[in-house]
Amino acid sequence: MITTMTQSLIHVTGTTDALFALLASILAAMALVSLFTARHLIRRLLALNILSSAVFLLLVLTARTANGIDPVPHALVLTGIVVAVSTTAVVLALYLRRYRREPPC
Amino acid sequence: MLAVDLLLTLAALATAGQCLLLPGLFRAVANLMAFGLVMALIWVRLDAPDVALAEAAIGAGITGALLLTAVGQLPASQRQLHHEHYRVPRRFIPMTIIVVFVGGVLWATMLALPKVGLVKEIAAVLPESGAEHAVTAILLNLRGIDTLLEIAVMLCAVAAIWSLQRAIPPPALELNYPGLTTLARWLHPLFLLTFSYFLWQGTHAPGGAFPAGAVLGAGGVLLLLTGSIGWMYRHYYNQLLRWLLAAGLLLFLATALAGLLMTGSLYGLPPQLAGYFIIAIEVAAALSIALMLMTFYLFGRPRS
């Protein structure tokens, strides 16, 4: 029953969307598991970056409506990319602070 | 086109998997950069050219540069990820079950999600927004408050980094790599040209403030790496740098308040003047995004 349901859904949304939705789901799941289990903090940061990419992919997929491409999720993703790089920079600066001998300013 | 989709999916899975599972910090970071490039191709495939441009410059370029510089600053004991390698077999089965379960639930939800969208609503207000390209109109006019807050988030990130430590001085590369400095200087006009092109194109086609700022920021990071921008590190220019960093946010706030005075609602731009406002905000936002991406790369406050 599940397979017929999936097939009918794929038929509605199109193969490309279904394939990239599967990719985004797997990436999100892998990144979540890695985010919680990785020992090295940099690895967790990499997992966070991959997780944000997966979420952006899901958002862009929702933009492909029957009426055409919806530009609102694209704008959201553009904002999200810049916020993600800001987060990465702050986390890296915090992490480096542990290993630098210089006094804080 | 199914072959292209499959190839892109496999490439994304392979790079992400290597980034998350294989030992070696440098290898993981290099795989993340490759993953960013694959994602840029996927954005093109999904008809999101604006996102693709920003992802190629930020996801593959600047994030990678930040991570590689940070890895280079770590002591040797912290650069290894090998102890995870031996734990993988024990955890393999529960991890696979969790990945399959979470991924399956997400996939089923995604396929069943109704895709409504705001295509008609956006098309109806687009002529009054001052930009012909819908994504630019949303970013700088219709949902300008999002972009305002996003630039505020970046400024907060710069403030947080500056309060932590002093800047990492640029490495002395001239002796070991004499060609690199020259190459960076020769390439910079190309970065400037691309920046101006994206900025000019932004009002009517894919491009605009975000990709333009990301490209200029990436070029600036290259110049910082080769030590060609000395003034950002000097105490004398610290005050100027602070004003430049804040300029984008201040101009944005001034526009929002001007909208409040002219139309009675915050960020409500009058349609006949919206085109000029959008150009002004676009230039300011692009320049401040570029400068903030470059200051991230310093990893601290310039020396005083």
Question: With 60 as the cut, is the pLDDT of residue B304 above it?
Answer: no
Chain A closest CA to B100's CA: distance in Å? 7
Chain B closest CA to A70's CA: distance in Å? 5
Is residue B129 a contact partner of residue B274, using CB atoms and an 8 Å limit?
A: yes
Q: Tell me: the pLDDT tens digits for B144-193? A: 888 889 999 999 999 999 888 888 877 777 677 878 888 888 889 999 99
Write out chain B residues lying below 8 Å of A71, CB-based. Answer: 122, 134-135, 137-138
Chain B closest CA to A57's CA: distance in Å? 8
Residues B225, B226, B230, CA angle at the centre, nearest 5°? 90
Which residues are bridge partners to B301 per DSSP? Answer: B166
Facing B106 at nearest CB: one of A25, A66, A100: A25
User: What ranges make up the beta strands (E) of chain B?
Assistant: none
Q: Which residue in this structure is represented by tokens 């190309």?
A: B190
Number of H helices, E strands in chain A: 4, 2
Interatomic CA distance for residues B132 and B111, integer angstroms: 32
A36 touches chain B (CB under 8 A): no
A11 touches chain B (CB under 8 A): no
Of B113, B105, B87, B68, give the one whose Cα is nearest residue B23.
Answer: B87
Model confidence at B6, pLDDT cuts 50, 70, 90, reads very high
Q: Which residue in this structure is represented by tokens 């495939």?
A: B45
- Of the ranges A15-19, B55-59, B166-170, which one carries the lowest mean pLDDT score? B166-170
Do A105 and B48 count as a contact with CB atoms less than 8 A apart?
Answer: no
Predicted pLDDT of residue A22? 93
Interatomic CA distance for residues B203 and B90, integer angstroms: 54
Predicted pLDDT of residue B226? 82
Do B67 and A10 count as a contact with CB atoms less than 8 A apart?
Answer: no
Q: pTM score, two decimals?
A: 0.89
**What's A70's DSSP letter?**
-
B90 touches chain A (CB under 8 A): no
Write out chain B residues lying below 8 Å of A37, CB-based. Answer: 91, 95
Q: What is the mean pLDDT of chain A?
A: 85
Is residue A25 a contact partner of residue B104, using CB atoms and an 8 Å limit?
A: yes
| E strand or H helix that includes residue B261 | helix B238-263
Interatomic CA distance for residues B62 and B215, integer angstroms: 9
Domain architecture of chain A: domains with CATH:
2-99 (1.10.287.3510)
Chain B closest CA to A105's CA: distance in Å? 6
Do A25 and B104 count as a contact with CB atoms less than 8 A apart?
Answer: yes
B263 touches chain A (CB under 8 A): no
Predicted pLDDT of residue A103? 60
Stronger pLDDT, B77 or A47, i.e. the higher one: A47
Question: With 60 as the cut, is the pLDDT of residue B58 above it?
Answer: yes
Average pLDDT value for residue range B89-96? 78
ipTM of the complex: 0.89
Question: With 60 as the cut, is the pLDDT of residue B82 above it?
Answer: no
**What's B301's DSSP letter?**
B
Stronger pLDDT, B229 or A93, i.e. the higher one: A93
Alpha-carbon torsion angle A87, A92, A94, A95, nearest 10: 140
Do B66 and A88 count as a contact with CB atoms less than 8 A apart?
Answer: yes
Chain B closest CA to A88's CA: distance in Å? 7
Facing A74 at nearest CB: one of B13, B50, B163: B50
Do A42 and B70 count as a contact with CB atoms less than 8 A apart?
Answer: yes
Minimum CA–CA partner of B75 in chain A = A99
B128 touches chain A (CB under 8 A): no
User: What ranges make up the beta strands (E) of A33-78?
Assistant: 64-65, 68-69
Predicted pLDDT of residue B229? 80
Instruction: Name residues 67-96 of chain A within 8 A of B (Cβ).
Output: 67-72, 74-79, 81-90, 92-96
Question: With 80 as the cut, is the pLDDT of residue A40 above it?
Answer: yes
Chain A closest CA to B299's CA: distance in Å? 6
φ, ψ dihedrals at B273, nearest 5°: -105, -5
Q: What is the mean pLDDT of chain B?
A: 86
Interatomic CA distance for residues B6 and A101, integer angstroms: 48
